[in-house]
Each structure stands twice: as structure tokens, then as C-alpha cells.
Amino acid sequence: MSDVLVVSEHRRGGLRDVSYEAITAGRELADAQGGDLHVAAISGDIDQFADDLNREGVDAVHAVSNGEEFDHNVYQSAVGALLEQTDAGTVVIPNSVNGLDYAPAVAEAHGLPLVTDAIGFAYDDGLTVTREMYGSKVETTVDVDGDRHVLTVRGGEWAPAEGVGDAPVESLEVDHPESGARVTGFEEVGGGDVDIADADVLVSVGRGIEDEENLELVEELADALGATLSASRPIVDNGWLPKNRQVGQSGKVVTPDVYIAVGISGAVQHVAGMKGSDTIVAINTDPNAPIFDIADYGIVGDLFDVVPELIDEFA
Ligand SMILES: Cc1cc2nc3c(=O)[nH]c(=O)nc-3n(C[C@H](O)[C@H](O)[C@H](O)COP(=O)(O)OP(=O)(O)OC[C@H]3O[C@@H](n4cnc5c(N)ncnc54)[C@H](O)[C@@H]3O)c2cc1C
């Protein structure tokens, strides 16, 4: 029997959705292992975070009050301290830039196996983790020895934990080595404050748009729907939209309620970033475009005819 420790993630004052998804993944593991689920909020507004993370199924919340922003040394030390203070043997960490910064260090320091980018678990005699490889073309399973491990979980693969829990909140301050790096501020990489991962509705544009000046058309559709504009990689590579708008393997993973793919073929690297969307609508002239394999609604047609009609309908 081994308890599970989920480490939440926050950025610029807010918990990221993947924190709640990791709680669901952690609960699944705790049930399979017959253990309790601990959740940690490390640095930032820990009182608020501890409150928000106290969802149904959580057995204990740990609030670690060191610092405001992400700090490798604080996270590594805090997770280490929690591993010692609790019966947790499994650590679940978001598979994010921050998570991938400290998860290997935690695994190394505690002699635990590390499996990154998990998209599913099966538990029989031991844990089997499902991962994707080769740009999501292949699914693999990894059998993990023992019942103590560090796992990073991909965003958008588990439903966010819901409900209000009543787990006790325990405060903790950790000793940690002085950091060689500190956060001095944030600078957005073009495109302002937009985080496409937070959008409920995305209108996503691909190479079918042909020319930068035609982007106006999809912007108009996004406005009419109250949606956020995102894009496939070629649009970003062309410099027509900033990098923070890119969906996909080398962009962002998004899970909106509605994803409208306009002139996007549905390459595996793109699909890897949006297949978790609730409802997918695709507009494409090619009836054999792979995007139609995952679309809930497909319109085979020229976007320059279809999009103006949609704008008329919704504006
Ligand atoms: C390591 C690696 C990482 C990558 N990461 C990403 C990533 O993060 N995100 C990403 O998106 N890509 C990524 N790619 C690129 C990916 O492989 C594809 O090249 C890219 O997704 C294709 O973009 P697209 O669908 O816009 O363009 P295309 O594949 O060229 O598709 C354009 C589509 O528009 C349709 N079309 C054309 N004209 C019209 C019209 N008038 N009306 C309607 N439809 C029309 C066409 O039928 C076609 O299906 C990556 C590639 C590699 C190798």
C-alpha cells in the first residue's frame, strides 16, 4: 500500500487546470494502490490554493509557504520533505515546463523510477503507464517496478477533480538550498496575455487560409463566436500569429469546449494538442483530410465560402 502525492502547479497567481486533472489521476492511483491522496500547494497564495485544491477525494492538503513563484530548489525540497512526512510513495506531477524541471531531480534524489508524459494508468499486480511516442503515432505501455515512483501526467487527459472536499490542510515550511536562479518578472512572447489553453471556444486557422491578409476572416469568425484565435504551426512559422497561439506537439495542449479547425489537415503533431477538445468542428475542402477522423462535425467546403456564412449566422 502506498499513498499518492499530487503536486499542483500555479502560474502568475492562478492554479493551472492540470492541477485538478492531476488530482483525478492521483485519486485513480491511490484507489488502485489502496492508499490516501495528498495534494501539495507549493509557494504563491497557498491559502487560496489549498482551499481550491480541497476537492472531493483528497485526503490531505499540504501548503508549503516558501516564496511566490516557481523555484526548482523549493519544489524539490518540498516534495522531498513530504515524501518523508507522509506515506506517499507515488508522486504525480504535471507534465509541464515546471514539472519536467524538478520531477527528474526528485526521482534521482529518492531513487525512484520516473515515467514522464503519462496519458493513462492500468493497475494489476503493478502499475502500467500508457504513453505516446513518435508524435502520437504510437501508444506504448511501460510496466513500472515496485509501488514507489514519480509520474508526470499530460494535461487534458484526465477530467478535472470536482466537488468540495473536507481534507485537513497542513502548513509546512521547508529548508532548501539557495537558488541560483530567481524569477524577476514575466514577459509575454508576443500575442499579449492570451492563453489559448484557458479558452472555452477556439477558432484555429491552418495553411488553408493561404495568405496573412486573409486572417481577418477567421478573426471575424472568432469575434462573432466570442472565441479565441489559435493556429497550426505553419501559420506561426510564417510569423502570421505569435507562438503562444500554436496548438500541437510543439505548441500548446488545449481542451476547449469547442474547437473549430479552419483549413487544418489534422497532422498528428497538431492533433496531439487538440484531440481532448469536447467538440471538434472541421472545415476543409479535402474530404479525406485526417482532421475529419476526429471531428464531431465536418464541413467539406471552401473556407472562403463557409466562414462568411458562419459569420453571418453568429454575428
Ligand atoms: C517535430 C514536429 C513538431 C510539430 N509540431 C506541430 C505543432 O505543434 N502544431 C502543428 O500544427 N503542427 C506541428 N508540426 C507540423 C505538422 O506536421 C503539420 O505540418 C502541420 O500541422 C500542418 O499544418 P496545416 O494543417 O495548417 O497545413 P496543411 O497540412 O498544409 O493543411 C492545410 C489544409 O487546408 C485545407 N485547405 C486548403 N485550402 C482550403 C480552403 N480554401 N478551404 C478549406 N480548407 C482548405 C487542405 O485540404 C489541407 O487539409 C510539427 C512537425 C514536426 C516534425
pLDDT tens digits for 208-256?
Answer: 999 999 999 999 999 999 999 999 999 999 999 999 999 998 898 899 9
Does residue 307 line the site of ligand 1, with CB under 6 A?
no
For the domain made up of 196-314, give the CATH fold.
Answer: Rossmann fold (3.40.50)
Report domain extents, the chain: 3-172, 196-314
Mean confidence (pLDDT) of the chain: 93
Instruction: Out of 250, 259, 294, give the residue to mutate to test ligand 1, the one with the largest number of ligand atoms within 8 Å of its CB.
Output: 250
Q: Which atom of ligand 1 is nearest to the CA of 286?
A: 47
Q: Is 119 a residue whose pLDDT tops 90? A: yes
In order of 109, 200, 244, 293, the CA distances from 252 in angstroms are 30, 14, 8, 21
Instruction: Out of 215, 221, 232, give the residue to mutate to test ligand 1, the one with the largest number of ligand atoms within 8 Å of its CB.
Output: 232
Q: Which atom of ligand 1 is nearest to the CA of 206?
A: 26
Q: Return phi, psi of residue 53, to 5°.
A: -80, -10
CB-based burial, 4-18: b 16+ in 10 Å, e otherwise: bbbbbbbeeeebbbb
Q: Is 8 a residue whose pLDDT tops 70? A: yes
Confidence of residue 128 (pLDDT cuts 50, 70, 90): very high
Largest CA distance in the chain: 62
Find the helix packing angle between 46-53 and 17-33, rounded to 10°: 50
Asked whether this chain's domains 3-172 and 196-314 adopt the same fold, the reply is yes
Q: Which atom of ligand 1 is nearest to the CA of 232?
A: 11
Q: Which atom of ligand 1 is nearest to the CA of 302?
A: 42
Cα 101 to ligand 1 centroid, rounded to whole Å? 30
Instruction: Out of 210, 265, 275, 307, give the residue to mutate to test ligand 1, the one with the largest number of ligand atoms within 8 Å of its CB.
Output: 265
Residue 31 near residue 137, CB atoms below 8 Å: no
Does residue 128 line the site of ligand 1, with CB under 6 A?
no
pLDDT computed for residue 192 by the predictor: 63
Q: Is 1 a residue whose pLDDT tops 70? A: no
Q: Is 306 a residue whose pLDDT tops 90? A: yes
pLDDT computed for residue 156 by the predictor: 82
Q: Which CATH architecture has domain 3-172?
A: 3-Layer(aba) Sandwich (3.40)
Cα 242 to ligand 1 centroid, rounded to whole Å? 16
